[in-house]
Amino acid sequence: MTDGPIRTRREGGVLEVVLDRPKANAIDLATSRQMGEVFRDFRDDPALRVALITGAGEKFFSAGWDLKAAAAGDAVDGDYGVGGFGGLQELPGLNKPVIAAVNGIACGGGLELALAADIIIAADHATFALPEIRSGTVADAASIKLPKRIPYHIAMDLLLTGRWFDAAEALGWGLVSRVVPAAELMQTARNLAAELAAGPPLVQAAIKEIVREAEGMRFQDAMNRVTRSQFPTVERLYNSEDQLEGARAFTEGREPVWKGR
């Protein structure tokens, strides 16, 4: 389906989202709001299990914030929509896997959009940067997330210099999980999305909530909440048909049939 700068396609339990704003897939306020609506609907649709976000074309995943739109009056401190910038940064309760397929340049807010995904796959020609410091501003989401994802001194190098780095370096620091030839990017991402979509949705939801909520907690506090089923997704999992199905399938030597309930 094509609707303005955002194209979506459903394939089974997978929602494919393509950012298509020539020439650089930059994101203005209207686009960010639309992306938030798309990902909110993905979150709330029980038939959808996994989202895949990529950019149109082969040159840009996303150049981030649309500075031309900002200069024309698209206020920098405006309403980004329900999910924050790019629809993913601040979307509450998103307990489904999201894959970013980085098909080219991901800089500034474009890199932050990729960082909002759970798994990042990059084409071998992809390049990355956080150049905000060169224009006298802060890469806010990246300043919070990057030092938690890669070694502190590397994160500070990237944030304080704004330098460019390639897919091989991103893979070396664990910023992306896979680098593949450009021609194989989308098929690789779709295969992974299909694999995740066939997995146990209640377990995936529990993993996402635990990881998100435990980030700011002491280890023992987080463990206590898990073991006492004090996370809503964990409580739902441990009282579900799927929990019993997983145990039965294992003892019977067959593949489980997940129902999400």
Q: CB of 167 within 8 A of CB of 122?
A: yes
Q: CB of 206 within 8 A of CB of 234?
A: yes
Q: At CA 185, angle to CA 87 and CA 144, rounded to 5?
A: 40
Instruction: For CA atoms 194, 195, 196, 201, give the dihedral sign.
Output: positive
How many angstroms separate the CA atoms of 46 and 14, rounded?
A: 11
DSSP-derived 3-state class of residue 47: coil
Please identify which of the residues 16, 90, 132, 195 carries the catalytic annotation: 132
Is 132 a catalytic site residue?
yes
DSSP 131: G
Instruction: Give me the sheet containing 165-166, strands edge to edge.
Output: 60-62, 105-107, 127-129, 165-166
DSSP 161: H
The encoded tokens of residue 241 equal 């048909």
Q: State the distance between the two ends of the chain, measured CA to CA, in whole angstroms.
A: 29
- Nearest CA among 149, 212, 196 for reference residue 177: 149
Please identify which of the residues 11, 58, 90, 112 carries the catalytic annotation: 112
Q: Quickly count: other Cβ atoms within 10 Å of residue 158's Cβ.
A: 26
Pairing of the two strands 165-166 and 127-129: antiparallel
Residue in the structure block whose two tokens are 């024309």: 72
Is 112 a catalytic site residue?
yes
Active site positions, annotated = 112, 132
